[in-house]
Amino acid sequence: MILLDGKHIAATIRQEIREQVEQLRAAGCRVPKLVIVIVGHNPASETYVANKMKACAEVGIEAEKRAFEASVTEAELLAEVARLNSDPSVDGFIVQLPLPEHIAETAILSAIDYRKDVDGLTPANVGRTVQGLPSIVSATPRGIRELLARYHIATEGKHVVVIGRSNIVGKPIAMLLMQRPYLSLPSMSAASLGNATVTVCHSKTQDLASICRTADIIIVAAGSPKLLTADMVREGATVIDVGINRVDDPASPKGYRLVGDVDFEQVAPKTAYITPVPGGVGPMTIVSLLQNTLQAYSND
């Protein structure tokens, strides 16, 4: 069993990005710029935004936070999106979700220019991904694909089972892995990604265990601790655990610890490759945002 060390791979990619940004600076070019729009004072969102700002600073990407009170109107936020769309000094921007209830998320996301949509969540980017056109892929699926590529885990002809059908993980990763690979994407090191036979499972799927047992690769993004147990995994399979769940742990100073969706202790010995939680997909997600920002900059 080989651990897919997302922490290590993410550090390698950060170093690659740092060098690329440094080269731009040395050549007298402006550096890439990311703007993060945050609305209200959701503590989790504030932590995510702080982490993203820090990640940018570490690699030399310019990052700017634009904070709005929760009382901001949809029209005011749409005006900000329009302004960022047309600001040539901004390569990419994200609107941190969730938004307050009086603002329609779809209206805001749909208004973002897909070339600056470094979260890859606009209908335009998702549509382009579906059609196999160059697009900005949302961070977690991009990170999973990168992790597979860096460990030379080919997906061509393999049966991939995806558990979860969310817009941010399940649907896009399924779409990416079933595509004919398109090599124009930056930083892909394996030509044999894509071309998989993909089965997408969800909460209404019947006999999940039998379907999983036919998988060469299982990607779990359900948000349910120990959903994937050893009897559901065949010997030599690859398991990618996207889940992040807090479980009570009186022995931990925080009183809880983070676990994925996989019964790691039981499943890991059966696998060829498996991601740990934490330290697997999570670090890849953050670094993917940096890659997307660089991609948006280069597409100018």
Positions marked active-site = 52, 96, 119
* Contacting range for ligand NAD; rule: CB under 6 A; set: 19-27, 145-153, 232-240, 280-288: 280-288
List CB contacts of 47: < 8 A, sequence separation 6 or more.
Answer: none
**144 sits near ligand NAD (criterion: CB under 6 A):** no
List CB contacts of 152: < 8 A, sequence separation 6 or more.
Answer: 189, 190
List CB contacts of 242: < 8 A, sequence separation 6 or more.
Answer: 140, 144, 164, 169, 219, 220, 221, 260, 261, 281
Nearest distance in Å: CB 44, ligand NAD: 10
* Contacting range for ligand NAD; rule: CB under 6 A; set: 15-23, 81-89, 176-184, 237-245: 237-245
Q: Which of 9, 81, 118, 222 binds ligand NAD (CB under 6 A)?
A: 222
Structure tokens of 266? 């039981």
**201 sits near ligand NAD (criterion: CB under 6 A):** yes
**244 sits near ligand NAD (criterion: CB under 6 A):** yes
Structure tokens of 55? 């990640």
**229 sits near ligand NAD (criterion: CB under 6 A):** no
What is the DSSP secondary structure assignment for residue 280, as one 8-state letter?
A: S
**170 sits near ligand NAD (criterion: CB under 6 A):** yes
Task: Identify the H or E element spanning 35.
Answer: strand 33-39
Cα separation, 61 vs 42, in Å, equals: 25
**224 sits near ligand NAD (criterion: CB under 6 A):** yes
Which burial class, exposed, middle or buried, applies to 27 when counting CB atoms under 10 A from its CB (0-12, 13-18, 19+)?
exposed
**276 sits near ligand NAD (criterion: CB under 6 A):** no
**243 sits near ligand NAD (criterion: CB under 6 A):** yes
Q: Which of 259, 282, 295, 297 binds ligand NAD (CB under 6 A)?
A: 282
**45 sits near ligand NAD (criterion: CB under 6 A):** no
Measured from the CB atom, the residue of 39 and 169 that comes closer to ligand NAD is 169
Total number of residues that touch ligand NAD (CB under 6 A): 25
Q: Which residue has the tokens 């590529």?
A: 149
* Contacting range for ligand NAD; rule: CB under 6 A; set: 66-74, 97-105, 239-247, 262-270: 239-247
Structure tokens of 241? 């655990």
Checking phi first, is residue 210 left (phi over 0); if not, alpha (psi -120 to 50) or beta? alpha
Q: Which residue has the tokens 């100018």?
A: 300
**203 sits near ligand NAD (criterion: CB under 6 A):** yes
**223 sits near ligand NAD (criterion: CB under 6 A):** yes
Measured from the CB atom, the residue of 92 and 141 that comes closer to ligand NAD is 141
Closest CA to 5 of 283, 260, 222: 283
Task: Identify the H or E element spanning 197.
Answer: strand 197-201
Residues that bind ligand NAD (CB under 6 A): 140, 163-166, 168-170, 201-203, 205, 208, 221-224, 227, 242-245, 281-282, 285
